[in-house]
Amino acid sequence: MKYFFILGKNVELSIAEIVSYFEKEEIKISKTYNFKNGFLVDVSGELKTSEVIKRLGGTLAIGIILFEGNQKELFEKIEKEEIYFESPIKFRYSLLDFCESSFSDKIEESLKIKFKKEGLKAYKNPAKGMINMQNGEIFLGSPSKLKQNDVNYFLFKNSEKNYFGILENIYDYKETEKRDMEKPERRESLAISPKLSQILINLSQVKKGETLLDCFCGVGVILQEALIQEINVVGIDLDKEAIESAKKNIAWLNSQYKVGAQIELINGNSRNVNIKRKVDAIATEPSLGILMKRVPNRKEAEVFLRNFESLMVGVLNNMNKCLKNDGKIAFTAPLVSIGRERVGCRIESICAATGLKISELKNVEIKFPIKDFRKDQIVGREFFVLERK
């Protein structure tokens, strides 16, 4: 089956998450194609897209391919085959263009003719809402705007074929915002977002029923997103107040979602705390440093990054004792702007001191680290996934 993903602002990170998700769910990928923020995947079997969209923090929408072929074949199939599967004869639709050609205008005209012929009162409502991509490009089609339509079609083209399809499910921002904004304890300047937490969980490839460790759990955002997926969690933090806040947030989460997974919270130092149980994976965001009010010079940035490296070496060497042999470690590291460039930690040094190596993604050419930052942000993130050599 072929599925189409509309990706968030960081295309590389979104693709890495999708590929990691498929691998942990043992869904085999035969081919992938990427253009702009569109990602076409040919996989074994069928996906329950309504469930998959809830699990992917970097995906805006998921669709299925209805037809494929050359331009002539696509026109013929749109004319003859069913493409509207609802009952109301009056509806709004959009056509998202991932072709970058005049082909979409011709398809649009064929849709109008088809709908009129079938007695449908279809009103085009073009994709709106800006998505500011990390590479500086701006695309249209935010989830909130797409939801204003009854139907969202899309066109995609690669070097082999043209594809026409329909979006099945769109990411529910309201539900994610509820978990973020309504929980009793928040640390806005320090806590990771639910969406980035979902991405880290998927990069770690931890499965339902397994155990995930967060060595810098803070108020428990990563833990909460894992619990919703019925993943057992262990959270550690040096800050006693953060642990108490995490307890309150998890209690609130349980009142809203009735999670059934196991929870263990530990107030301690991840460099030396003793974890008695084995864990299947680690997903964590260490402190990325104090909120910088000015761009540091290279020397200041390097001092900051060497301290981070020392912290991670100590933590990883300790956490390695409780991590299962095939477990992965997904974490973020600071990416510091020093003016015209950004500098990050020396992952080779961390790997050499811990006996770990950078994990490699299958089926795509994307490699870790993956950078994630805003243009005006002094300290951004790099995403890493490590595993034993």
- How would CATH label the architecture of 2-171? 2-Layer Sandwich (3.30)
The pLDDT tens digits of the residues spanning 270-285 come to 999 999 899 999 999 9
pLDDT of residue 60: 96
| Whether domain 177-388 has CATH 3.40.50.10470 | no
- 174 compared with 358, residue with greater pLDDT: 358
The pLDDT assigned to 190 comes to: 67
Model confidence at 291, pLDDT cuts 50, 70, 90, reads: low
Q: How far is CA 96 from the centre of its chain?
A: 21
pLDDT category at 138 given cuts 50, 70, 90 is confident
Residue 130 has pLDDT above 90, yes or no: no
**Whether pLDDT at 260 is above 80:** yes
For residue 7, pLDDT beyond 80: yes
Instruction: Indicate if the alpha-carbon torsion angle 208, 210, 216, 217 is positive or negative.
Output: positive
What pLDDT, on a 0 to 100 scale, did the predictor assign at position 290?
65
Using alpha carbons only, give the angle 168, 256, 13 rounded to the nearest 5 degrees.
45
Whether the pLDDT of residue 137 is over 90: the answer is no
Query: Is this structure's pTM higher than 0.85?
Result: yes
359 has pLDDT over 90 = yes
pLDDT, the chain, mean: 94
Question: Is residue 292 scored above 80 in pLDDT?
Answer: no
DSSP string, 56-114: -TTEEEEEEEEEEESHHHHHHHHHHS----SS-SEEEEEEEEES-STHHHHHHHHHHHH
For residue 384, the cross-strand partners are 331
Report pLDDT for 72: 94
Q: What is the pLDDT of residues 215-229, one digit of tens each?
A: 999 999 999 999 999
CA–CA separation, 362 and 31 (whole Å) = 11
The answer to whether the Cα torsion of 310, 311, 314, 319 is positive or negative is negative
Residue 211 has pLDDT above 90, yes or no: yes
- Compute the distance between CA of residue 276 and CA of residue 368 in angstroms, rounded to an integer: 30
Q: For 230-244, give the secondary structure using H, E and C.
A: CCEEEEEECCHHHHH
Written as six digits, the tokens of 213 are 């460790």
Structure tokens at 119: 């007695």
> What is the token pair recorded at 5?
């993903």
- Enumerate the domain spans of the chain: 2-171, 177-388
Name the DSSP class of 372.
E
Q: Does residue 305 carry a pLDDT above 70?
A: yes
Give the Cα separation of 337 and 371 in Å (integer).
12
